[in-house]
């Protein structure tokens, strides 16, 4: 269960005073990719911005958890944890995370993260000098370049019409399924009524 606000922690969790009992509070800062709709629409592919989040737990209370975008107050309040987070965070991610594409394995994503390549854009622009040091990196770079080239290519009218037709077909199928489910529900309700009537009569006797 997640809560969104410092006030959800009571005085018994934090001790007397606003932050007096923070010795019994555990905080963890982390980054979370958030979709950027404006950039995604402009680029024609998923674009994410990394935002800093914080998870705060009161010791001994597993149900009282705050998990939300970190505020300046959080960073001041838990400055030691935030300093440790900053020491290992590296640069911010802006672009399409490698986890969003299907042509790269999870193990490869983790290996690339070690050398601070976490987006398709970064992979497509990695230097040949770096590629020469890692087996298979040239191939992944070419895959990334091809992905971006395809994503940046304007859709043809045939593609737009095809997508529209697919959406209309799916909408029709959904409408038919909904109608079928409603008819089945009505039929079951009709079958249930005669069975209930004798039971009521027997109860009345």
- Looking at residue 53, its pLDDT comes to 92
- pTM of the model as a whole: 0.41
Residues of the chain with pLDDT under 70: 1-24, 59-62, 88-93, 155-161, 163, 193-205
pLDDT digits (tens, 9 = 90+) for 32-83: 888 888 888 888 888 888 889 999 887 666 677 889 999 999 999 998 888 8
Angle at 93 between CA 51 and CA 116, to 5 degrees: 135
Q: Where are the domains of the chain?
A: 1-93
Are the C-beta atoms of residues 147 and 140 closer than 8 Å to each other?
A: no
Q: Cα torsion for 132, 135, 139, 142, to the nearest 10°? A: -40
Beta-strand relationship, 61-69 and 48-58:
antiparallel
Instruction: Collect all residues with Cβ–Cβ distance below 8 Å to 132 and sequence separation of at least 6.
Output: none
- The closest of 154, 155, 92, 147 to 124, measured between CA atoms, is 147
3-state SS, one letter per residue, for 142-183: HHHHHHHHHHHCCCCHHHHHHHHHHHHHHHHHHHHHHHHHHH
């Amino acid at each position: 269960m997640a809560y969104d606000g410092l006030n959800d922690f009571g005085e018994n969790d934090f001790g007397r005073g606003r932050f007096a009992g923070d010795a019994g509070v555990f905080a963890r800062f982390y980054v979370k990719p958030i979709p950027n709709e404006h950039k995604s629409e402009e680029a024609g592919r998923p674009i994410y911005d990394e935002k800093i989040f914080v998870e705060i737990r009161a010791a001994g209370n597993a149900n009282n958890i705050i998990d939300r975008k970190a505020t300046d107050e959080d960073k001041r309040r838990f400055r030691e944890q935030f300093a440790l987070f900053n020491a290992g965070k590296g640069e911010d991610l802006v672009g399409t995370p490698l986890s969003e594409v299907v042509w790269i394995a999870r193990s490869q994503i983790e290996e690339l993260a070690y050398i601070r390549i976490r987006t398709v854009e970064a992979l497509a622009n990695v230097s040949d000098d770096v590629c020469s040091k890692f087996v298979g990196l040239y191939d992944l770079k070419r895959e990334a370049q091809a992905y971006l080239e395809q994503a940046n290519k304007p859709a043809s009218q045939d593609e737009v019409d095809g997508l529209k037709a697919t959406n209309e077909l799916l909408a029709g199928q959904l409408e038919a399924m909904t109608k079928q489910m409603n008819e089945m529900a009505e039929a079951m309700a009709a079958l249930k009524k005669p069975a209930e009537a004798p039971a009521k009569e027997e109860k009345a006797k």
